[in-house]
Chain A
């Protein structure tokens, strides 16, 4: 199974900041990586697929990069609605696996 490791597990930032979350795969997954945002009490929402492609309707403040084993999600100009938990997931092979999540909190 492919293990997905996110860092950091939690992150404090201020409104207006730019933050980067990292996701590392235990083996190469090409660009078969997705990022999801989950707010408390809500279902996850897809943000990015194919490592860097934005889902329809997702603002350009979200960006993704990487290929192979190392990936990043960058969020610029943080706003209150961006404070949530973020998950990466590989869809290169089964079983699909998620990172453990990164909780982004307001400083």
Chain B
């Protein structure tokens, strides 16, 4: 079964850092691009970042550029999102998704930024 499991969320103060992880199973991670998408409480979906299969191409939303870093370790079947200089508006449920078509999605990990 293809599965994505996010972890690493939690509570951070403004200006703090968190590192999210996404563990992939049931497929060969190295053959797919991967994405992070977030959803603020009660709001819609917002694309955050994407990384190509070999990490050659990386893209960020303007709202996180310069603060977040996406990376992957294909040998460990894992995707990461390093989140620095966190702001209150980064509070959201963060999902990892597979490929250009966004299928499937993990269950999400909650990030809360508050003083």
**Contacts between chains A and B (CB distance < 8 A), count:** 52
CB closest chain-B residue, reference A101 = B44
A residues 58-94 with Cβ under 8 Å of B? 87, 89, 91, 94
A-B contact pairs, 17 of them (CB 8 A): A34-B101, A36-B102, A43-B106, A44-B45, A44-B95, A49-B103, A55-B101, A55-B103, A87-B45, A89-B45, A91-B100, A96-B35, A96-B50, A97-B47, A98-B45, A98-B47, A101-B45
Q: Mark each residue of chain A from 37 to 49: 1 if its CB lies under 8 Å from any CB of chain B, else 0.
A: 0100001111001
Question: Which residues of B are found within 8 Å of A99, using beta-carbon distances?
Answer: 44
Q: How far, in Å, is B51 (CB) from chain A's closest CB?
A: 12
Q: Does B46 contact A (CB under 8 A)?
A: yes
Which A residues are closer than 8 A to B by beta carbons? 34, 36, 38, 43-46, 49, 55, 87, 89, 91, 94-101
